[in-house]
A and B are shown apart, each in its own frame.
Chain A
Amino acid sequence: MNPRGDSTSGSDGAAEPRRKSKKPRYSRFTQQELPACKPLLTPAIVVTTFAFIGIIFIPIGLLSLSASGQVVEIVYQYDTDCIPEQMQNDKVAFIQSSMTNKTCTRTLTVPKNMEGPVHIYYELDNFYQNHRRYVKSRSDKQLRSKASETETTNCAPEATTSDGSVIVPCGLIAWSLFNDTYSFAVNSKIIEVNKKNIAWQSDKEHKFGSDVYPKNFQMGGLIGGAKLNASIPLSEQEDLIVWMRTAALPRFRKLYGRIETDLATNEQITVTIQNNYNTYSFEGKKNLVLSTTSWIGGKNDFLGTAYLTVGSLCLFLSMGFIILYLLKPRTLGDPSYLSWNRNPDGHY
């Protein structure tokens, strides 16, 4: 007897033809049979992958290292150096006083030929430009247009002066603008420092308004840093724009300017530093950095080393796997490796 025939006819009766069949329509999607690729980590793939990474990474590492090696960098920490002997015990008083002479002249030697442009950076350490109180204390609206001058919601505690008038640019970031200055001379001949285009073009064009002029800036009870020329619009105040791109880490560099000429090996550069900025109250360090650049940026051996390490590790792993595969070969897809075939009892 056909199992389907008679037994089912009971329900195939009068009611059946009217009922729509609910049989799911076949499609590869609904039956979960879409064509698919099933990658497996076969020995060949594993060895090739590791070898491939190794082969790619080692040259990159070498290239990066050589690029980094070509960068010439002069770093000079001047925060302690530039304080006269007698004031070493009370650096904060020295820096806060308006009477002290803060000019400080030092000579740096160029270790290797530096091709222009040579970038001049100041580097601050232990300065938390990423502190929550600090990063939030700015008003992008105010910076952009004169119409939004009063938008100072986030700028506390540098939103208004004590008499309530609006500070432009408001906020702690602008208030704390770095104000040390550097000038350079070789053999008593002053080297031109190009301070144009040190900020991002995008910032100058869209973020800082050309009709926004500083107002009531640095008039409060506590002076945080540089004063701004009230007749220059913010979009031209490149030092401010650079400063307001807050750094990611507590030690950071910011572009001060560029020396367009080459500096020859062993040349003596006389640097005149106006040491105005107070980092002494929180033990912050100040460095002056002169550096050339390469495609990788500044001097940075880490990336090259990392690439070499990873690359050689991968090559090593590749070798290791080859040896392991040779020592303990296994046929892929051999049913005798299934647990119940290895253990014929088949109970768990």
Chain B
Amino acid sequence: MADGERTAFVDLLRPIADPPVRPDLISLSASATAAASAAVDPPHGSRAEADRLGASLKELADADARIVFVGDPGRTDPRLALPGNAVRTAKYSFLTFIPRNLFEQFRRLAYVYFLAIAVLNQLPQLAVFGRGASVLPLAFVLLVTAVKDAYEDLRRHRSDRVENGRAAAVLDPAGSGQFRPHRWKDLRVGEVIKVLADESIPCDMVLLATSDPTGVAYVQTINLDGESNLKTRYAKQETMSRLPSITAGSVTTLIRCETPNRNIYGFHANLEVDGKRVSLGASNIILRGCELKNTAWAIGVAVYTGNETKVMLNSSGATSKRSRLETHMNRETLLLSAILITLCSAVSICNGIWLAIHRDELELSQYFRKRDYSGGDEKYYNYYGIAMQVFFIFLMAVIVFQIMIPISLYISMELVRLGQAYFMIRDKNLYDESSNSRFQCRALNINEDLGQIRYVFSDKTGTLTENKMVFQCATIRGIDYSEGKDPSPNGSDVYYVVVGDQFWRPKMLVKTDPKLVRLLRSEGETQEGKHARDFFLALAACNTIVPLIVGTPDPKQKLIDYQGESPDEQALVYAAAAYGYVLIERTSGHIVIDVLGDRQRFNVLGLHEFDSIVTGREYLDIIRATETNLHAYSSMGLRTLVVGMRELSRNDFEEWHSDYEKASTALYGRGNSLRAVASRVENNLQILGASGIEDKLQQGVPEAIESLRQAGIRVWVLTGDKQETAISIGYSCKLLTSEMTHIVINSNSEASCRKSLEDAIAISSKFVAISSRAQNTITGTGSVRVPLALIIDGTSLVHILETELEEKLFKIATVCDVVLCCRVAPLQKAGIVALIKKRTEDMTLAIGDGANDVSMIQMADVGIGISGQEGRQAVMASDFAMGQFRFLVPLLLVHGHWNYQRIAYMILYNFYRNAVFVFIMFWYVLYTAYTLTTAITEWSSVLYSVLYTALPTVVVGILDKDLSRRTLLKYPKLYGTGQREERYNLKLFILTMMDAIWQSLVVFFIPYLAYRDTTVDGSSLGDLWTLAVVTLVNIHLAMDVFRWNWITHLSIWGSIAVAVMCVILIDSIWSLPGYWAIYHIMKTGLFWLCLLGIFAAGMIPRFTMKALTEYFMPNDIQISRELEKFGNFNYFTGTEISMSTFSETHPGFIR
């Protein structure tokens, strides 16, 4: 809203001379939204919880407080050595780059292995490779990474410089009262800063004053937590009124605040001005990264600067987890190490034996020549006795066979995951239109875990539902009004506020019950009408919503956009507006409500936080009727809120007012004393009525849950909601079905928990027994098993989790098809995840959107945050973040499946590829008197896994798809491949290794036998082996590729070409022994015959096995591939269709 409009707004309000001020009602109704019966859902905002956690749990002790002297940075606590406001996201400086970067890089174990081998190779006795060849690959990798890091850091330096160089208006400390431009980096704690509209806030600052006479400032926190709603922040009246003397420096103002922390929703401090103490909370601070909106200017004092600001403290990197596949891979790596050590020992022992047998010949045999005659005295040349020789040979063997442990695999895996993440992020099916958010990969190393999930733990609100509340119905004094019909945007029933010649209407339309509308507008002062009017007045008044006036293309029409932190409150205010109680202005001191065309102004005297314990005094029949309606609403899946009121007498008010003032400025135990005050006034309430708010189910949730269930994934819903609400949501999202048997556990003692659990186990085992018997008799046709659903509430869980009853719960829960936990606390959510994680090998995934899901998200193997209505805390803690629950289906079933199968294949292939090469070298070593000569040039053996064969596996790891997206979505059961670990297991590893040995035998012995009686030299034969093995492993890969696109073709055939070129290049260097060898050997027919023979003989076993298993023992993947190719389902670019089935068929409402 621009400034001009704002003035117009004020002007228009002027005709309402002397608006009726009704302090009695206001003080009451301010607490009325909060005043609700026990049947109320807990408040939605996670912020309220975060606030409580952050602020009231610990009170501020002077010792760990930061004391800020406003306007006097010099005096501001020198012992803290506060940082300036310069931020430094860059990691390195010019001097520290090399050491720090190297240090960072060598934290990877793989690089240390590389380095150790390279160092070993530098010892003259062990020098297997030349210096260059041994150091080059490591140096190359280090250099590439360093250049990448340096580039990124340079960009960070640049953005730091831009950020630090921005200008901010800072109060001149000399006391002139003038604001002078300073650079951001020069700001210091304690300085007074002025921020203008639409400017970014340079550091965390406590508001002192704003352009608004009441001290309100609006900020947009989109950079901080992704929320686009405007947030209201307040300057304290105490500082507002004293602003001139504060800026002039004539009064000492100091702020005691907590030490810097990451909680962006909490702030705890107090302000001392003129000896008077005022408390400060999260609503008094504006944070770096926010933008000032709709406020001409704001003046604040810097309390946290630079890297201590909350936004900087929150900018942590991605979480580091290790994927299941990688854990398994480490097991096989150990196995490979064992093979490596065996090979090395074999070579060194054989060498020892050979030396022992030929001991007497070593002196004279020309190829050994033990003695060195040069330099006069006779000595041994490079010979240290058999024992030493054996030891050296062992170490040399480690150097020569080092690539048995595929170090390059770790690097290519990182590349592949990066590529996979790229495609997941770019997938338009994972893009959420409504929140304009793409899929986010926050953890880069668990992509493949997405293909192995067995348990999904889901939050309900905001995850299964949209957390966009829509008012549905109300009960007022026990009378139900739920006959609403959908409004049309231009229909006659839409309520407008007429302001001058403009029409203002609420932005969101709510359906209205005509009976209720009539009642509200009826002239007569009926008791019913009064109650209804009070009800809607309470809805319109008792909240923290800020109305914003937004223009539309039609200049006469304006929209009122209600912005606030709680979606429930928004819904209630929109509802009140639809019935003619339109909130049109809110400042910290008063609100203006248009009551059916009559503009009324209310003063806000106080505000109590929501608290669900209130008492009332009411006629029994009204309570009964209300309760019945509430029950009906919640079983429709509506969120309910009871609204009550109390009229205060002058005396009562005075008493409350003084208590409230005292409590809200208390330094210690403020939260508690405020609650005490609230409970004193929130009694003897009169029930006005209750509202039913619908939390719309997200699009496609039932279908998504059905797909997940078919995929063999168990979906557990953990919610803070009431049991009835949870169950009804369970039905509407198809989690629960009518044929399910429900096992409900609601107990409030350990003994009764134990009993219910035992009963439950008895029931479930009976059902399982029936079904298994049925299976035997009916020979497994048709599912006869009665599905079971377990419904358990938080109170019971208190007695079960972390006691010996856990075991029983686990037993029963794993038998049940569906588990629904309601009324659970955040930590219990994590406890339930841990229940499964501790006892099974199954992969768990937790998905949620709020701060209360953070613990569960961090506990699960894979944590997914929904970037939705609530804050960003869940996203910050998650491994992946996305906009909608239904994206879970393409994410797991499609991307998860692909990623799992790609990485699994890639690991096996890399093991195989390096093993083939090592075995070839090993066979050759057997013919060199076990002295580790390699016929393959050292450059080729270094480049083998880095250049000759690296790219295809990366490309295949990123791009190959065993099945199309459409097929995977059509047959969710294909997901089982990952769950059963079919693509990577010990059996496959052993088979692959056997294949590797066979292929190495073929590659080695065909040329060996063919060239045995010829004049062939080592280099030529080495070149033949090199080309044979490179081509063979690439052909092997080519045989396993599922989908050939041009990139795959290019990488595979390109790699072979590159290898040939490299070999030719290496043989063109005159100083190497193999000079020109490749040209000579390529001229002979024998060479080509050998190559051809190697390819055929090497591939026959694999090809035969593949043909046999694929035809005679086809797995589901194979059948589905055939279906894709030959099946008659109309195959065309399938993505569009697959997702639209989710959106069109079900509107996705709870009704």
Residues on A facing B (Cβ under 8 Å)? 1, 3-4, 6-11, 13-15, 19, 21-24, 26, 30-41, 43, 46, 49, 53, 57, 60, 64, 92, 121, 123, 127-135, 138, 140-141, 144, 156-162, 164, 172, 175-176, 200, 202-203, 206-207, 220-222, 224-225, 245-255, 278, 281-284, 295-300, 302-303, 306-307, 310, 313-314, 317, 321, 324-325, 328, 330, 332-335, 337-340, 343-348
The answer to whether A176 and B1073 touch (CB under 8 A), given A3-B1147, A162-B376, is no
A224 to B1021 alpha-carbon distance, docked (Å): 27
Known: A46-B1107, A202-B1080. 12 other contacts (CB 8 A): A31-B427, A43-B1111, A46-B1111, A130-B933, A131-B928, A141-B1071, A160-B375, A176-B366, A247-B1015, A314-B1096, A317-B1104, A330-B1111
By the criterion CB–CB under 8 Å, are A32 and B1012 in contact? no
Q: A114: shortest Cβ distance to chain B, in Å?
A: 17
Q: A288: shortest Cβ distance to chain B, in Å?
A: 14
Q: B510: shortest Cβ distance to chain A, in Å?
A: 9
Among A40, A53, A255, A303, contact of B1015 (Cβ-Cβ < 8 Å)? A255
A202 to B1081 alpha-carbon distance, docked (Å): 13
A312 to B1070 alpha-carbon distance, docked (Å): 44
By the criterion CB–CB under 8 Å, are B1045 and A36 in contact? yes
CB-nearest residue of chain B to A339? B1116
Listed by A's residue number, 12 A-B pairs whose Cβ atoms lie within 8 Å are: A1-B486, A13-B550, A14-B561, A46-B1103, A123-B1013, A132-B928, A156-B372, A172-B367, A246-B1017, A247-B1017, A303-B1086, A344-B780
What residues of chain B lie closer than 8 Å to A14, measured between beta carbons? 1, 548, 550, 561
By the criterion CB–CB under 8 Å, are A172 and B366 in contact? yes
Interface residues in B353-371 (C-beta closer than 8 Å to A) = 358, 361, 363-369, 371
What residues of chain B lie closer than 8 Å to A172, measured between beta carbons? 366-367, 369
The answer to whether A41 and B933 touch (CB under 8 A), given A32-B423, A333-B1119, is no
By the criterion CB–CB under 8 Å, are A64 and B369 in contact? no
Q: A63: shortest Cβ distance to chain B, in Å?
A: 10
What residues of chain A lie closer than 8 Å to B1021, measured between beta carbons? 248-249
By the criterion CB–CB under 8 Å, are A8 and B434 in contact? yes
The answer to whether A7 and B470 touch (CB under 8 A), given A33-B1135, A314-B1096, is yes
By the criterion CB–CB under 8 Å, are A15 and B228 in contact? yes
What residues of chain B lie closer than 8 Å to A35, measured between beta carbons? 1045
Contact-residue size bin, chain B (C-beta under 8 Å from the other chain): 35 or more
By the criterion CB–CB under 8 Å, are B928 and A338 in contact? no
What residues of chain B lie closer than 8 Å to A247, measured between beta carbons? 1015-1018
8 nearest A-B residue pairs (beta carbon): A176-B366, A157-B372, A333-B1122, A281-B364, A202-B1076, A157-B381, A282-B365, A132-B931
A130 to B122 alpha-carbon distance, docked (Å): 22
By the criterion CB–CB under 8 Å, are A206 and B1070 in contact? yes
A338 to B1119 alpha-carbon distance, docked (Å): 7
What residues of chain B lie closer than 8 Å to A302, measured between beta carbons? 1009-1010, 1012
What residues of chain B lie closer than 8 Å to A164, measured between beta carbons? 374-375
Q: B909: shortest Cβ distance to chain A, in Å?
A: 18
A198 to B17 alpha-carbon distance, docked (Å): 118
Interface residues in B1044-1069 (C-beta closer than 8 Å to A) = 1044-1048
Q: B999: shortest Cβ distance to chain A, in Å?
A: 14
The answer to whether A157 and B374 touch (CB under 8 A), given A132-B933, A134-B367, A296-B1085, is yes
Q: Which segment of B188-196, B648-656, B1124-1132 sits at the interface?
A: B1124-1132
What residues of chain A lie closer than 8 Å to B486, measured between beta carbons? 1
A222 to B366 alpha-carbon distance, docked (Å): 10
Q: Which segment of B7-15, B435-443, B808-816 sits at the interface?
A: B435-443
B1121 interface residue, CB < 8 Å from A?
A: yes
The answer to whether A334 and B428 touch (CB under 8 A), given A15-B220, A131-B368, A282-B364, is no
What residues of chain B lie closer than 8 Å to A303, measured between beta carbons? 1009-1010, 1086, 1089-1090, 1093
A46 to B1075 alpha-carbon distance, docked (Å): 42
By the criterion CB–CB under 8 Å, are B374 and A92 in contact? no
Q: B1067: shortest Cβ distance to chain A, in Å?
A: 10
The answer to whether A307 and B1075 touch (CB under 8 A), given A222-B371, A248-B1021, is no
Q: A75: shortest Cβ distance to chain B, in Å?
A: 9
What residues of chain B lie closer than 8 Å to A246, measured between beta carbons? 1017-1018, 1073
Q: B43: shortest Cβ distance to chain A, in Å?
A: 19
By the criterion CB–CB under 8 Å, are A297 and B1014 in contact? yes
Among A6, A32, A127, A255, contact of B508 (Cβ-Cβ < 8 Å)? A6
Among A19, A37, A347, contact of B1043 (Cβ-Cβ < 8 Å)? A37
Interface residues in B1081-1136 (C-beta closer than 8 Å to A) = 1084-1086, 1089-1090, 1092-1093, 1096-1097, 1100, 1103-1104, 1106-1107, 1110-1112, 1114-1116, 1119-1127, 1133, 1135
CB-nearest residue of chain A to B894? A32
Q: B1145: shortest Cβ distance to chain A, in Å?
A: 12
By the criterion CB–CB under 8 Å, are A7 and B1044 in contact? no
The contact string, 1 if C-beta is below 8 Å from chain A, for chain B 372-398, is 111110100110000000000000000
What residues of chain B lie closer than 8 Å to A13, measured between beta carbons? 507, 548, 550, 559, 561
B971 interface residue, CB < 8 Å from A?
A: yes
What residues of chain A lie closer than 8 Å to B371, measured between beta carbons? 157, 222
By the criterion CB–CB under 8 Å, are A248 and B561 in contact? no
By the criterion CB–CB under 8 Å, are B933 and A26 in contact? no
What residues of chain A lie closer than 8 Å to B1073, measured between beta carbons? 135, 138, 140, 246
By the criterion CB–CB under 8 Å, are A157 and B373 in contact? yes
B426 interface residue, CB < 8 Å from A?
A: yes
By the criterion CB–CB under 8 Å, are A40 and B1016 in contact? no
B451 interface residue, CB < 8 Å from A?
A: no
By the criterion CB–CB under 8 Å, are B1096 and A53 in contact? yes
Among B437, B561, B1115, B1120, contact of A22 (Cβ-Cβ < 8 Å)? B437
By the criterion CB–CB under 8 Å, are B935 and A225 in contact? no
What residues of chain A lie closer than 8 Å to B71, measured between beta carbons? none
What residues of chain A lie closer than 8 Å to B364, measured between beta carbons? 92, 222, 278, 281-282
By the criterion CB–CB under 8 Å, are B1111 and A26 in contact? no
A333 to B1119 alpha-carbon distance, docked (Å): 5
A92 to B775 alpha-carbon distance, docked (Å): 86
The answer to whether A222 and B373 touch (CB under 8 A), given A38-B1121, A156-B381, is yes
The contact string, 1 if C-beta is below 8 Å from chain A, for chain B 780-796, is 11110100000000000
CB-nearest residue of chain B to A249? B927
